[in-house]
A and B are shown apart, each in its own frame.
Chain A
Amino acid sequence: MNTLNKLLKGLIIKNNFLFEQIKFASHFNFYPTEYLNEENKEKINLCQAINSALNIALEEDPNSVCFGEDVAFGGVFRCSVGLQNKFGKERVFNTPLCEQGIVGFGIGLAVTGSNAIAEIQFADYIFPAFDQIVNEAAKYRYRSGNQFNCGKLTIRATWGAVGHGALYHSQSPEAYFSHTPGLKIVIPRGPSQAKGLLLSCIEDPDPCIFFEPKILYRNAVEDVPAGKYILPLGKAEIVREGKDVTLVGWGTQLHVLMETADLAEKELGILCEVIDLQTIIPWDVETVAKSVTKTGHLLISHEAPKTCGFGAEMAATIQKECFLNLEAPIERICGWDTPFPHVYEPFYLPTKWRCLEAIKKLIKY
């Protein structure tokens, strides 16, 4: 593992022309996770955590394969570095440039029992595969009366704002897929979650989409358990406890909410409970509802546009579950209902200042 780490670090420095994000990344500060206190830990970033999970998956199951565009040489984000050398060209390989083919091909592998780990280079480019994901992968088990399934399919895709990605390197398409029964959608907030949740997705008996916040690939560094571990799907995590307002988010936005919570405490004396949803569907209603029952205030925040974003589903459900406990209307601070813009990104994002203002209004309501 150490050698691989050195190798990874070497490659990152060598290849940082591929991905110069750091100087643009300013809308959040990374809050590392400290709750995983295993003995054997290594300080790695999110990209390395993904690499570590893929290594474990390929090692454990000889029927697992990794494929996608430019995966063989290590991936344009370096997540699959070293895998082809270690596991061979038949198990880690490039496909032609065709997203509908990648997902269809992955479904076929999974139907015959192979563990298929497909990569879509950017979540923005997952839409050509929408039909294969929504009409096929999601419905395979149901429509065949459980005679066939593609549960061994995991689709990884880079996700979210990156500072300068504009329309097609910034999208957060989770809500499109959340309307599709049969899929699981998972988004980690840091290296520890990325590794544990990705390994869960790979083992899960249902097709999973795993969105990786690409701005965190290098920015997020923390101690991650070196061996194999999994984090449960369908479970939200209370990252910070509080009593006044519940803040729910996922991915990068979780860090924005953490900072908002700090600001709220410092400036307003308000104690926020911050929840990382982690699994978009099926989502953990119980954890969120319990928190809102306690705090009486809910703020949901995501980078994706507001209208029909996943926050809408959450708001409607929590409004029904916690009607008597709510002391103010549920607030949603999201991306605006526009395409994701280039130079206007700082004004598009649901910043900590917008979130802080929302908390003020919630409390004053």
Chain B
Amino acid sequence: MPHILFCRSVSRVGTFIGKQTSINSTCKFSNVEADTFKLQEFAGKYLGNKKVLFTERLEFRTPKDCDAMPIYRCVDSNGNFLDENEEPKFTKEVAQKIYMEMTKLNTMDKILYESQRQGRISFYMTSYGEEASHLGSAAALEPRDLIYGQYRETGVLLWRGFSLDQCMNQCYGNKLDPGKGKQMPVHYGDAGLNFVTISSPLTTQLPQAVGSAYSFKLSNPTKSFDQRRIVCVYFGEGAASEGDAHAAFNFAATLKCPVIFFCRNNGYAISTPTSEQYSGDGIAGKGIGYGIHTIRVDGNDVFAVYNATKAARVLALTNCPVLIEAMTYRLGHHSTSDDSTAYRSADEVKEWTELDLPILRYRKFLESKGWWNMEMDKQWLSKIKSEVLESFNKAEKVKKLPPDELFNDVYAEIPEALKKQKTELLNHLEKYGERYPELENFEK
């Protein structure tokens, strides 16, 4: 057992001029040797091979020591590129499709929001102001990449081909809803489109996304490059406060998973402003601490979101997780159950609307290319409006699955005790069916 030595002064590495203080002359001990050993151990085993030094200055690092991570952008608010090298060179078709999906989402949002106000669907959440972050990121991913969402990522689904009919069927919970009417509106999901069904509990999807990414990490090496998959998971800045976010960032980094964490920082979690959500440098400020490649982007700039996601995908394929924080603003209310004027000023919303509307900003780019004009816009918006209305009215008329559908899919097979409960319900409805007026909306 070597004696424990007390070193009064420990030098910085590189100079090693510390005094050698021994309390036992029979024990040879070198500070230089000890310091070198410790620094190697700490750096190599504790700190991920990052160089580390001792310091003799008692000094706390404060958040103010570091500037906020800059916000990467490509175009100004008039849709002009600030550095032409950053233009992702969309084809006309892709460029137009992005605009069309953004406006389709916006149109659907307006109609479904109104329909909830009229009591025709029970609940809705709009994506106003966040359309660019949806479409910019979705366009940069491959259709085979698996997506986990929070609930405000409808544009990602639309980009992948989720139809208006599917949206409406889900919101109505009719028999055509692939979710079979089990969940609240806006909880979309589509296995064929590799979009995992949304659930209400915030952030639970983050560690799950990491698990799925780990599974891709194991299978990717057996596949050709154009078959390899990553996972992209979306969440809001409020959700990032949950323990599951911490779990996910840490697991993704230590287990080296091909995953993109896409944070929509829109300034509010329901009524809670970001100043009450965190004190650090936003969500991006957390990434480096976990050892994750991190970037902050202008979430209202389709091109910045697209470029960042595209590059993140390349990194993710090398099993480096990436965190993207898209700075945006939630223009709409949190949901149809929320009146945001109770906690934020109308002026604030007005300013964002007037100064940085992502759809408008993107349209200016299209116009500058000669790929869009007022006439096209009028025609498209009127066409999409009637499509949304048509789809909406159609879905409203479709019946729901039979009531005993409620017993299906709890387990892969219905257990005996549950079969009994199913019979119990059916017998009850036989007797008391007329007491359930809504029964006529369900199939027999």
Contacts and interface: CB of A to CB of B under 8 A. Distances in A.
Interface of A: 63, 65, 90-91, 93, 95-96, 98, 100-101, 103-114, 116, 128, 131-132, 135-136, 139-149, 151, 181-182, 184, 205-206, 234, 282-283, 285-286
A101 B243 CA distance: 9
Given A101-B207, A105-B208, A135-B201, A145 B416 contact: no
A104 B208 contact: yes
A306 to B, nearest CB: 23
Nearest to B221: A90
* 5 pairs of A and B residues whose beta carbons are closest in the complex: A108-B211, A104-B207, A101-B247, A144-B197, A108-B208
A109 B196 CA distance: 13
A65 B411 CA distance: 23
A347 B139 CA distance: 65
Contact of B247 (A100, A140, A144, A147): A100
A100 B244 CA distance: 7
B180 A101 contact: no
B255 A93 contact: yes
Given A101-B248, A206-B411, A95 B212 contact: no
A298 B215 CA distance: 47
A237 B182 CA distance: 36
Contact of B183 (A98, A143, A146): A143
A108 B212 contact: yes
7 contacts: A104-B244, A104-B248, A112-B212, A141-B410, A145-B178, A148-B189, A282-B417
Interface residues of B, number: 49
B303 interface: no
Interface of B: 146, 177-180, 182-183, 187, 189-191, 196-197, 199, 201, 204, 206-218, 231, 243-244, 246-248, 250-251, 254-255, 408-413, 415-418
B291 to A, nearest CB: 12
A103 B183 CA distance: 23
A143 B207 contact: no
A131 B215 CA distance: 22
Nearest to B201: A135
A58 to B, nearest CB: 13
Contacts of B178: 144-145, 147
A151 B211 contact: no
Contacts of B201: 131, 135-136
Given A108-B208, A135-B201, A136-B199, 4 more contacts: A96-B247, A105-B210, A109-B211, A142-B409
A136 B250 CA distance: 20
Contacts of A282: 411, 415-418
